Structure 1
Amino acid sequence: MVLPTRLELAPAEGRLRIWWPDGRRQSLNPARLRAACRCAACRSKPSEEGPGQDVRVITLQEMGYGIQIVFSDGHDRGIYPWPYLQTL
């Protein structure tokens, strides 16, 4: 498993920035991250009930194999494994 070398939460935009060991950097849109949540509650909702474009990342909690993200809409159940984040 490849672990990032750095994580940064850009508070102005609520974006998540990730630096990977191969030099690649990601800047992930919070609405895309929220829509990509794979928790049971999110997978059971129809896609038209997705988050609004104004959702933001509030905090991150490292979980070893990935991160748990808390969003401005109160959602905090999804854990995003590192390999999954690399694909977004």
Structure 2
Amino acid sequence: MTVLPQAINARQSLGQLQLTWQDGRQQCLDFAELRRQCPCSQCRAFRLRGARPLVSADIRLLQANPQGYGLQLVFSDGHERGIYPWAYLAGLPTAPVAQ
């Protein structure tokens, strides 16, 4: 059974995507780290070669589009290929929750 978030909130001023999961847990993910961890085949191949994507610290999330099994994220650098499965998002490192 796939666990889905109850709420998805792009906190633009903080540069974070906030997910509230069904168990009440809140998770904040930095836009830049989300971009670095993109699960698309091109980005995965880049990381498998030992390269770390160069991502601007001021990158923004333009869209978050639910796709059933995950979330397609569209970034201000034009990258929009990755669909982040819910379980993958839940396993990413959480940023400090900013107020």
How many residue pairs are counted as aligned between the two chains?
Answer: 88
Q: SS in structure 2 opposite 1:42?
A: helix
Q: Does 1:57 align with 2:47?
A: no
Q: Does 1:43 align with 2:41?
A: no
Give 5+ residue unaligned stretches, structure 2. Answer: 93-99
Deviation of 1:54 (Å):
1.8
- Give the TM-score normalised by structure 2: 0.81
Q: Structure 2: how far apart are the matches of 1:85 and 1:44?
A: 19
Residue pairs, 1:14-53, within 5 angstroms: 14-45=15-46, 46-53=50-57
Q: Structure 2: how far apart are the matches of 1:85 and 1:50?
A: 20
Q: 1:13 to 1:40 in 2, by over 3 A?
A: same
Q: Please, what is the CA RMSD of the aligned residues?
A: 1.3
Give 5+ residue unaligned stretches, structure 1. Answer: none
Percent identity over the alignment is: 44
Where in structure 1 do 4 or more consecutive aligned residues deviate above 3 Å? none
Q: SS in structure 1 opposite 2:14?
A: coil
- Give the TM-score normalised by structure 1: 0.90
